[in-house]
Amino acid sequence: MVPARTGTSGPPRHRGSAAGPPIRNAALPLGWASPRLRWGVLRALSPWLLAVALAAGGVLVGWGADRHLATALVLHAEPFLLVLAAWAAAVAVWAGRRSYARALVIGAVAASLGARLPIDVAPAAGVPPAWVGPVNRCAAALKPPADPVRLLQWTLGGGESPEFVRGVVADAAPGVVVLHGVSDPEVVRAVLAEVGGESRFFPPEGGGIGLAIVAAGGFHPCGETLAWSEAMDTAYGYTFAFVGVPPATVFPLLVARLPGPLDGGAWSERMTAASSRVFSALAGIQGASTVVVADAPAPRTYRTLDTRMAGVGAASVAVPPSWPARLGKVPLLTLHPFDRMWIGPIWREAESSRAASPAGLRAPVITVLSGPEAPSVDVTPME
C-alpha cells in the first residue's frame, strides 16, 4: 500500500494567480502594441494632427504670399476657407466630435495667423523712368497739404449710366475722383460737371481699360507737361500727375492697375513687371505727399507688394473691402479691398468708408487724407 502524498502535485503555482506562467516586470517591446491599440492612439491624436497640418499650411502659404500663383490664389480664397472651417467645426459639434471641432477652430486661426507672419522681401529693383528727373524737383518744391483731401476711387463695371455715376459722386462730395474701367466719355463729362476743375481721360486702347481722373483744383504742370504715363497701352500701366484740391493743396497722384491671378497668362511675371514699373517711378519721384491708388486685385496679405511699396516710401492705407459688392441685383458680402491706396509719409491720417453700391461688382471707396497742417476730418459713410 502506497502512502498518500500530502500537498499538491506538479510544479508550484505563482502565488495569487491562476494556472499559467508568471508575469514578469519586463519592458514591453516597441511592437508589442496590438493593431487595435495603435489605431486607437492614432484616432486620439488625429484631431491635433489636423490642427498642426492646417497651421503648417498657413505658414507655407504666408511664405509664398504673392510671389507664386498657387499661394496667391489661396490668399484670395482665404475668407471662403475660413467659412468652410467654421461650417466643418459646427458639423463636428453636431456629430459629437468636439475634439475635431476644437482642432478645426484652432487650426484655422493658426493658419490665418501663419499666413501673416513676417517674411523677408528683397527691395524693389528697377531703373526710374527718364521723366522723373524734373518731376522729383517739382515734388520737392511742393508745400505740405494744407487742406483735407477727399478722394473717391471706383472701378466701374461698364454698364453704369452717366447720371448714376454723377449721383454717387455727388453723395461723396470728393475733391479728386479716380474712375477705373471707364470707357464712355459722357461719364467723365458728368463727373466733371459735378466736381468741377479739370479732367484727364485715357480711353481704352490696345487691350487696356479706360481711366479718368477728375481734380476739383485742376492739374498743375511740371515744366510744360501735365501728366506722365507708362504702359497705358496695355491692361497694366500707370499715369502720374500733380492734382489740386481747393483752395491751395497740390499733391502728386499716381494711378495704376495691377494684374489679378485670375486674369490669365503668366501671372507672376506680369505682376512683377507691372509692380516694378510703379516701384521704379515712386523711387524716382520721392514725393513725401505722393498718393498711389490702384485697381489692384491684391488682398492685404499680399505682403511682398506692401513691403516693397513701403520700401519706396508709400504706406498702405486700410481701405475697406470693395469686392464683391453685388452680382446683378443681389448684394454680396465684400471680402477684399481690390481698390488699394498707398500714401507718402507727410500724410498724417487716412480714413476710408465704402459706399453702398446699387450696381457692379466693385463698391466705390471714399478716403479722407489730412496733411500736417490740415484739420482732422471724419469720414461720413455714403448711403
Structure confidence at residue 22 (pLDDT): 55
Domain 132-370 has what CATH class?
A: alpha beta
Average pLDDT, the chain: 84
Quick check: 59 and 114 in contact, CB under 8 A?
yes
Residue 203 confidence class, pLDDT cut points 50, 70, 90: confident
> What phi and psi, each to the nearest 5 degrees, are found at residue 44?
-70, -35
What is the percent of the chain with per-residue pLDDT over 70, rounded to a whole number? 83
User: What's the rounded mean pLDDT across residues 338-358?
Assistant: 86
Domain range annotation of the chain: 38-114, 132-370
Residue 1 confidence class, pLDDT cut points 50, 70, 90: very low
Residue 152: strand pairing partners? 177, 366
The CA angle 206-212-215, to the nearest 5 degrees, is 155
User: Which residue in 189, 209, 118 sits closest to 200, CA to CA?
Assistant: 189
Structure confidence at residue 126 (pLDDT): 78
The CA angle 88-92-97, to the nearest 5 degrees, is 150
Structure confidence at residue 196 (pLDDT): 96
User: Which residue in 271, 255, 333 sits closest to 83, CA to CA?
Assistant: 333
pLDDT of 330 higher than 60: yes
Quick check: 377 and 368 in contact, CB under 8 A?
yes
Residue 204 confidence class, pLDDT cut points 50, 70, 90: confident
Structure confidence at residue 229 (pLDDT): 82
Give the chain's radius of gyration (CA, Å).
Answer: 32
pLDDT per residue as tens digits for the range 14-61: 454 455 555 555 554 555 456 776 677 777 889 999 999 999 999 999
pLDDT of 357 higher than 60: yes
Quick check: 214 and 151 in contact, CB under 8 A?
no
Cα 105 from Cα 281, distance rounded (Å): 44
Residue 328 confidence class, pLDDT cut points 50, 70, 90: low
Cα 383 from Cα 378, distance rounded (Å): 16
